[in-house]
Amino acid sequence: MKLNLKIWRQQDSESKGGFENYVIDDITPDMSFLEMMDVLNQKLIYENIDPISFDHDCREGICGSCSLFINGRAHGPDKGITTCQLHMRKFKDGDSIVIEPFRAKSFPIIKDLVVDRSAFDRIQHSGGYISINTSGNTQDANTTPIRKEDADNAFDAATCIGCGACVATCKNASAMLYVSAKVSQFSYLPQGKVEAKERVLNMVKQMDDEGFGNCTNTGACEVECPKGISIKNIARMNREFYKAKI
């Protein structure tokens, strides 16, 4: 496959970035999108050009590191996948591909396609945990009965990998799907109810302080979420928030 790539280049967070065009050949349909980027970078290195910076780690869809906004969509033209799970068979020979970083005021660009998603870490630190002493004196998990439906919902919410595709794709750059997943994964379970009030208040406050936008229930986030986190979690977080405030 021969592809025409239009890729965002930005030297650092202070520089003014811009698009640069690259033509790449010998790409096979079985390559992952990130392998295609590796091939391009190898070519750039041989040509003594600064390679393109992009985030990646596990390359098996579980770490949430890879980002990229490809042809107008977070993680590219497929549903329920991260960029590392996107394969070149989704493109045709001669295609033009526009590759941009995730864009949000709260996700500043570090270099090229790498953005700083530490705002998510700060939200998590503000309440996305339970304070339980786990130093060998915890009771067996099965001694606390939990409804199957609640356990399933908590697990579904906990599958959020914090990749930021929800923020990237939301027209308002809202982080409510992410925050609501982190709130819900605990609020469904008895262990999470103890600190439920402080958790939702602190996490929503941190989310607002980070400058994310408001959710307008377009549902774009759940469509693009690689883990299929449902926006029903957002309504649940809203309920938790009102309860905590009242």
Partner 1 sequence: MSLISIFKSSIGKKLLMALSGIFLVVFLTQHFLINITSVFSEEIFNFLSHFMGNNPIVQFILQPILIFGVIFHFVMGFYLEIINRKSRGANYSRYAGGDNAPWISRNMIFSGGVVLLFLILHFYDFWVPEMNYKYIEFRPEDPNRYYEELIHKFESPVRTSIYSVSFIFLALHLLHGFSSSFKTIGVDSKYYKPIKSLTFIFSILIPFGFIFIAVFHNIMH
Summarize as ranges the residues that interact with partner 1 (CB under 8 A).
19, 69, 71-73, 77, 98, 100, 103-106, 169, 171-174, 176, 201, 204-205, 207-208, 211-220, 223-224, 230-232, 234-239, 241-242, 244-246
If the CB atoms of residues 100 and 112 are measured against partner 1, the closer one turns out to be 100
If the CB atoms of residues 82 and 230 are measured against partner 1, the closer one turns out to be 230
Q: 200: which 2 tokens?
A: 């939702």
CB of 159 to partner 1, least distance (A): 17
The amino acid at 228? G
CB of 244 to partner 1, least distance (A): 7
Nearest to 207 by CA among 176, 229, 236, 239: 176
If the CB atoms of residues 89 and 239 are measured against partner 1, the closer one turns out to be 239
CB 20 within 8 A of CB 7: yes
Q: 164: which 2 tokens?
A: 């930021």
CB of 31 to partner 1, least distance (A): 22
CB 123 within 8 A of CB 193: no
The amino acid at 115? V
> With helix as H, strand as E and coil as C, how does 152-189 read?
HHHHHHHCCCCCCHHHHHCCCCECHHHHHHHHHHHHCC
Nearest to 22 by CA among 30, 32, 42: 42
CB of 89 to partner 1, least distance (A): 19
> At which residue do the structure tokens 């003014």 appear?
16
CB of 220 to partner 1, least distance (A): 4
CB of 171 to partner 1, least distance (A): 6
CB of 224 to partner 1, least distance (A): 6
CB 52 within 8 A of CB 7: yes
Output DSSP code: residue 157: H
If the CB atoms of residues 35 and 78 are measured against partner 1, the closer one turns out to be 78
DSSP, collapsed to helix, strand or coil, labels residue 19 as strand
If the CB atoms of residues 85 and 230 are measured against partner 1, the closer one turns out to be 230
DSSP, collapsed to helix, strand or coil, labels residue 39 as helix
If the CB atoms of residues 2 and 105 are measured against partner 1, the closer one turns out to be 105
- Strand 3-9, strand 96-100: pairing: parallel
If the CB atoms of residues 38 and 118 are measured against partner 1, the closer one turns out to be 118
